[in-house]
Amino acid sequence: MTKPLDALKSILPLAGWSRDVSSEATFIGAGDPMMRTALHVGEAGAATIAAAGLAAAHLWEVRGGQKQKVSVEMRHAGAAMRSGHYMKLGDGALSPARNGIMGFYPTKDGRWSYLHCNFPNHRAVALKVLGVEEDRAAVAKAVLNWTAADLEEAIIANKGAGGMVRTHEEWARHPQGIAVAGLPLLEIVKIGDSKPEPMPVGTRPLSGIRVVDITRVLAGPTSARTLAEHGADVMKISAAHLPNLGYQEWDTGHGKLNAQLDMREPDQMETLRGLIRDADVFSQGYRPGSLGARGLSPEELVKLRPGLVCVSLSAFSHAGPWSGRRGFDTVVQAVSGMVLRQGELFPGKEPGPQFYPLSAIDYCTGYLMAFGAMVALARRATEGGSWLVRISLAQVGKWLVDMGEVPASTLANVPAEFEASEVERWSTTSQTPKGPLRHLAPVAQLSATPGFWTRPSVPLGYHKPVWPARSTESAAAND
């Protein structure tokens, strides 16, 4: 059981904590391999979930509560790295299927290119660059006219997403790989002065704390979902014109208010600024610098609201030549060597790169963002200040790879899925406006303040962009 403990011990110093704090967390059950990959995906997930749990427990102590223990069931944590697969809305499952064009294609120089096509705007870019209709055979034929490097740059230049599939060694020599290697896993930085703000009176670690969440897809929304799990009032902000994958919104929407604002409209932008002015945490996942023109840079926001905790997520970090590049969990897997190694160990129906069967980079990043936000809130309560929590998918991907591989001798006959009886034991049901939603319950078990969601997932834009009255408990009656 040393791997999750070692991983947890690598996280705790980022908060200025002793590695000995890891003794307050207990990991239950067997570790990796849980699924068909050599990466320590389950143990990494368990470590990040435990870190977030410890941060919530620490906030409870800051409030004057008793010290408590955190326990994490290993296989439940592994399932949480693909929690979108274990949902049933009403009588039917919510499909996590990817778009048929998305995937890997051989190029004319004998390499592989990854086209990220889940979102319609990114799919349109790929088809435009290749000059073909939405047909996988036509796309494959067109890709053969390109070198992998040239196609990568053409896709990015046209505001798409994807990349050339590289080996681990190539990524380590790449300027962006070098830049990422020079960064810590997570940064928690004081960016402004303000008076200490004691935690509001309440019965949960984050009672009375307000979070504005404008992140999308998985990592950022998972972070805000985790803060809601410990009592925060979270306002998820999306916009009607932005594409989304419906099942992901149900997966990450637990505990949140859910409103829509169009940042292109001045009056709606002012509404967003008003929400932030009355918030404690602002979480965003846009490319570094891209929100500055809208006045939403951390530096501007802490002038608007001194004492704000800004949580900033990007794909490839704020450093290096790719700092402004779009990216996703799957893109990081492709360009950094993960998919080639996965294809070697677990070949698909056709030869070539393969994704590992979870979204561990996304979910681990989300739990780490929540960990950082709670650490910053504790610092604000005791010493004051405005804070920036900064992380990227690429930094988390490197951390995951640096954990090493599961011994090859343990990879034979690994099941492709968790047992249905296990998933049922880990699940709970929420009553949503669209019917009962069966989904995974929180993983981290806190001995004094168990985590739970008081609000169900709801459709995008279900609520008005107005904060409910602050209370000592986040209550569904406030909806």
Question: DSSP H helical segments within 353-392, as ranges?
Answer: 360-383
Task: Determine, yes or no, domain membership for 7.
Answer: yes
Contacts with 354 (C-beta within 8 Å, 6 or more apart), sequence order: 339, 342, 343, 346, 347, 348
Please report where in the chains the tokens 């798409």 appear, as a residue. Answer: 160
**Segment (H or E) for 103:** strand 103-106
In a domain, 159, yes or no: no
Cα gap 209→206, rounded to integer Å: 5
Residue type, 310: C
pTM comes to 0.96
Q: Are 392 and 315 in contact (CB under 8 A)?
A: yes
Residue 172 inside a domain? The answer is no
Phi first, then psi: what are they for 69, rounded to 5°?
Answer: -100, 155
Q: Residue 229's pLDDT is what?
A: 98
Domain of residue 233 covers: 2-95+185-317+358-478
DSSP 21-49: GGGGEEEES--S-SSS-SB-HHHHHHHHH
Q: How far is CA 134 from CA 107, 118, 130, 327, 431, in A?
A: 18, 12, 10, 22, 38
* Average pLDDT along the chain: 93
Would you say residue 467 lies in a domain?
yes
The tokens for 69 are 């223990």
List all residues 6 or more positions away from 188 whose beta carbon is below 8 Å from its beta carbon. 14, 15, 372, 375, 376, 379, 387, 388, 389
Report, as ranges of residue numbers, the positions in the chain whose pLDDT lies below 70. 1, 292-293, 471-479
Give the 3-state secondary structure of residue 230.
Answer: coil
**368 in helix, strand or coil?**
helix
CA torsion, points 359, 360, 363, 365, in degrees to nearest 10?
A: -130
pLDDT at position 471 = 60
> If you ran DSSP here, which 8-state letter would residue 198 be given?
P
Per 3-state DSSP, the chain is made up of helix, strand and coil in percentages (nearest 5) of 40, 15, 45
The CA distance from 421 to 427, in Å, is 10
Q: Is residue 458 part of a domain?
A: yes
Query: What Cα–Cα distance (Å) separates residue 241 from each residue in 77, 218, 261?
Result: 34, 19, 10
CATH number at residue 23: 3.40.50.10540
> pLDDT tens, 250-307?
999 999 999 999 999 999 999 999 999 999 999 998 888 777 668 889 999 999 999 9
Rg of the chain over Cα atoms, rounded to whole angstroms, equals: 21
Which ranges in 131-264 belong to alpha helices (H)? 136-143, 148-157, 168-173, 175-181, 219-229, 246-252
Whole-angstrom CA distances from 436 to 97, 282, 341, 431, 456 are 21, 30, 40, 4, 9
Tell me if 337 is assigned to some domain.
Answer: no
3-class DSSP state for residue 258?
strand
Give the number of domains in the chain. Answer: 1
Residues 391-424: tens digit of each pLDDT = 999 999 999 999 999 998 999 999 999 999 999 9
In-domain check, residue 71: yes
Q: How far apart are CA 172 and CA 284, in angstroms?
A: 28
Give the whole-angstrom CA distance, residue 106 versus residue 98: 19
Partner residues linked to 292 by β-bridges = none
Q: Is residue 156 part of a domain?
A: no
User: What letter represents residue 182's amino acid?
Assistant: G
Give kind and range of the element (H or E) at residue 129: helix 120-130
